[in-house]
Amino acid sequence: MLGQGQYDIKTVSLSKDVVQSIGGFRVLQDYDIESIPNDYEAVILIGGMTWRDENAKQVKTLVEDCYEKGKILGGICDASAFLGTVGVLNEVAHTSNDLNNLKQWAGSIYTGEKKYIAKQSVRDKNIITANGTAHMEFAKEILLALNVASEERIVDL
């Protein structure tokens, strides 16, 4: 952490190769999955369909580490369902794109159905989840969890 409410944002991917979104947005990561430093405050997983690929399983160790250390952990869209496949949604209130889809994809690892809330975004403890249409609500919950500014200022954004 740099100062109260100030963070140095870094990007991570499975490799250090340039990643291009379907919209043409190009990103060169700061770290690959093997070189992430241990001193981080949060892991925020972006949405998209690649969470269902075999390669996504490489992120599981990072998610488990973040969860076990009590760090802020967020997932939007299919990334929220990926959190269900790792088991981190079982004990916290959460949301995703669809409960039935989450249950089907995560299988027996996911036991948190009673904690599922059909809402745009949910923050419980240090876990933040959102459905794929809730980018603003997700961002708000991340800012609040990181305490980057007063709640009044964040809500007014």
- C-alpha to C-alpha distances, 68 to 54, 71, 101, 116, nearest whole angstrom: 23, 8, 26, 21
Distance (Å, whole) CA 83 – CA 149:
27
Rounded-to-integer distance, Cα 56 and Cα 93, Å: 23
1 confidence band (pLDDT: 50, 70, 90): very low
In the predicted structure, residue 17 carries a pLDDT above the cut 50 = yes
> Encoding tokens for residue 3?
């100062």
Question: What is the pLDDT at residue 3?
Answer: 47
- Whole-prediction pTM: 0.92
State residue 96's pLDDT score. Answer: 98
Active site residues: 77
Average pLDDT of 84-107?
97
- 70: nearest Cα among 36, 94, 41: 41
Q: What is the pLDDT of residue 153?
A: 87
**Tens digits of residue pLDDT in 103-124:** 999 999 999 999 999 999 999 9
Give the model's pLDDT for residue 4.
Answer: 52
